[in-house]
Structure 1
Amino acid sequence: MSMRIARVALCAAVACATAFAVGTADAAPQARAEKTRSLDILLTNDDGWRGPNGSETPFIVTLRDALRAAGHHVVVVASGTDQSGQGGRITMPPTTMEVANPEPDVWTVKPGSPSDAVYFGLDEVFHGKKPDLVVSGMNPGTNFGALINHSGTVNAALTALEFGVPSVAVSLASDPRTWPDGTDHSAGPAAAYVTDLVTRLQDKSRRGQLIPEGVSLNINYPLVPGPVDPATGKPGSVLPPRGTKATTVARGPYLTPDYIPVNGQSGRPGTYTIGLGANTAPAAEGTDVRAVTDGYVSISALEDDHDVDGSTTGWLRTLARQLR
């Protein structure tokens, strides 16, 4: 797939999302709602569906309810356990999985990675009829930059592309150190944002494919604290994002590992504790990390073929000729 197609997909997504992000009034919301059709959506995440009615995983519940309120048929297929940071891992045979159907249109798999959930959903739950869209999220915590390599949220969306199903991954910025409740406050507005984005993609698709073939959209919604509540000393609300930006994926490591020996010497066999910190170096302008840091919703277009374009392709062909 050419980068031009990916950019077209990204520009279309941003064009249809920006008005909502900055709070622009919709001139004819009722007319638009009447034009759109109900979509069949497979909803998953990497935190699973846990607790009665998803009570231990409230963000996927919030997104499901928002999409359903917009008239879509939403089926949740997710792990029954927390599978954060599992990337695109799949469970290999002969391992068996326990499948549960705890409530209508909710399926869980154990053990099951996010990619396992998408595999099972497409093969069994939506057997014989692909969903119109796979949505993965909402994840409490960003999935941008190099984090997308390890994110179960993002890789669940990319797994859908293997089967030709367009997909969207959704993550929310969080600040667990200074404002742990911030992500809770932003969940509702973020779900409304995603629902509006899906509607606008429908408007632009003219009943065709929602997103160009082989492209997934990775959305990171910022946490923009409102004024501090004098009674608590903490922000009492979230402000709307400053807008939506089409972004590229920031390069370089985002997580900084730190392994500390419990016994023995560093760099030698033994037991280690694992520490992970965030890279606080300023991100480049135009990247997903920079956009979210600046208070914008970031939308990046991810391709399923993992190929490169342009001059790198020529370099690779020259190398291949030399190796004959």
Structure 2
Amino acid sequence: MRILLTNDDGYDAAGLIALRKRLKKIKDLEVFVVAPWSNKSACAHSLTLNHPLSFVKIKKNYYALKDGTPSDCVNLAFCTIFKDKLPDLVVSGINNGANLAEDITYSGTAAACMESVLCGVNAIAFSQLYEKEVDFKRSSKLAVKLILKLLKTNPLKKRRFLNVNYPSCESDYKGYKVCKMGKMRYVFSSKMQKNPRGLEYYWLDSLYDLSKVKANNDDIDFVRRGYASITPIKLNLTAKKEIKKVKKWLENE
């Protein structure tokens, strides 16, 4: 069995390293890493089409993709490293910070899985809620068990993947909950600064407050309460219930 491990935090991220270390101990499991050279958080499902990409070999079966996104990592790995035989599974993470609710539309972690299932390879994304401390010992151990289970049996249809979010390492772990996506409350803002020549520039500062999100038996709710959420994600974004409404709206003058 062969696994491609990637992320959006970069090839040297602690979550990826912790998960790889545990996966490497499993007999008859070959682990390959292709991850971005630098942090690509919130890059979503973007591909690099306007400049070339290059691999940097870190060690055996371990590569960083210069200037590449998580989707690039998966796509290019399939075209090169796995050109003769695709991997059995793509694993993305463990991300430093949760990818809950609509955050997955921003998430490079989730996007790597989107790219994988588009190419016909099963995928699973792992993230961990960040509070004051970051420790991936517990989440990496739990993640490996899910990975091995998924390698044996995939419960999903095509073009679907699992999005897993672990609670903070500081919280008591209560087990898994299979649930729907929640609805995040976003506050969009930016911070303006000036360079030494007086020119203005901005840092985007999109924030949310989980404490203000109402409990609704969803991924936000369960992770906040100390559970790990598992949400099946599909790529078809059609709002099917709205089709008739839009047709009627179009017909009305």
TM range, smaller chain: 0.7 to 0.9
Paired with 2:123 and 2:246, the residues of 1 have a C-alpha distance of: 30
1:45-104 CA-to-partner distances (Å, cap 9, x unmatched) read 001113xxxxxx2211111121222232110011111111111111113x1112122211
The structure 1 residue matched to 2:227, chosen from 292, 296, 310, is: 296
Q: Check whether the contact 1:250–1:283 (CA below 8 A) recurs between aligned residues.
A: no
- 1:36 matched residue in structure 2: none
Larger radius of gyration: 1
- 1:25 matched residue in structure 2: none
- 2:41 matched residue in structure 1: 84
Alignment of 1:138-149 (within 5 A): 138-149=94-105
SS at 2:8 equivalent: coil
How has the CA–CA distance of structure 1 residues 130 and 313 changed in structure 2, closer, same or farther, with 3 Å as cutoff? farther
- 1:258 matched residue in structure 2: 189
Paired with 1:125 and 1:47, the residues of 2 have a C-alpha distance of: 21
SS at 2:116 equivalent: helix
Q: CA deviation at 1:224?
A: 5.2
Paired with 1:174 and 1:147, the residues of 2 have a C-alpha distance of: 14
Q: Check whether the contact 1:250–1:284 (CA below 8 A) recurs between aligned residues.
A: no
- Amino acid in structure 1 at the alignment position of 2:174: R
Paired with 2:55 and 2:212, the residues of 1 have a C-alpha distance of: 43
Alignment of 1:30-45 (within 5 A): 39-45=1-7
Q: Which consecutive unaligned segments of at least 5 residues does structure 2 have?
A: none
How has the CA–CA distance of structure 1 residues 252 and 224 changed in structure 2, closer, same or farther, with 3 Å as cutoff? closer
The structure 1 residue matched to 2:181, chosen from 224, 236, 249, is: 249
Q: Answer 1 or 2: which has greater strand percent.
A: 2
Q: Check whether the contact 1:140–1:174 (CA below 8 A) recurs between aligned residues.
A: yes
- 2:208 matched residue in structure 1: 278
Q: CA deviation at 1:314?
A: 3.5
69-78 or 278-287, which deviates more: 278-287
Paired with 1:261 and 1:107, the residues of 2 have a C-alpha distance of: 37
The CA RMSD over aligned residues, in Å, is 2.2
Q: Check whether the contact 1:202–1:210 (CA below 8 A) recurs between aligned residues.
A: no
Paired with 1:101 and 1:81, the residues of 2 have a C-alpha distance of: 14
| TM-score, reference length from structure 2 | 0.88
Q: Answer 1 or 2: which has greater helix percent.
A: 1
Q: How many residues align structurally? A: 246
Q: CA deviation at 1:274?
A: 3.6
- 1:67 matched residue in structure 2: 23
- 1:13 matched residue in structure 2: none
1:145-178 CA-to-partner distances (Å, cap 9, x unmatched) read 1211111111111111110111101001111xxx
Paired with 1:274 and 1:307, the residues of 2 have a C-alpha distance of: 29
**Mapped pair 1:102 → 2:58:** yes
Q: Which consecutive unaligned segments of at least 5 residues does structure 1 have?
A: 1-38, 51-56, 226-237, 264-268
Alignment of 1:181-200 (within 5 A): 181=133, 183-184=134-135, 187-200=136-149
How has the CA–CA distance of structure 1 residues 257 and 117 changed in structure 2, closer, same or farther, with 3 Å as cutoff? same
| TM-score, reference length from structure 1 | 0.70
SS at 2:104 equivalent: helix
Alignment of 1:194-209 (within 5 A): 194-203=143-152, 205=153, 209=154
- Amino acid in structure 2 at the alignment position of 1:74: V
Q: Which has the higher contact order (CA 8 A, sep 6+)?
A: 1
- 2:77 matched residue in structure 1: 121
Paired with 2:46 and 2:247, the residues of 1 have a C-alpha distance of: 31
SS at 1:154 equivalent: helix
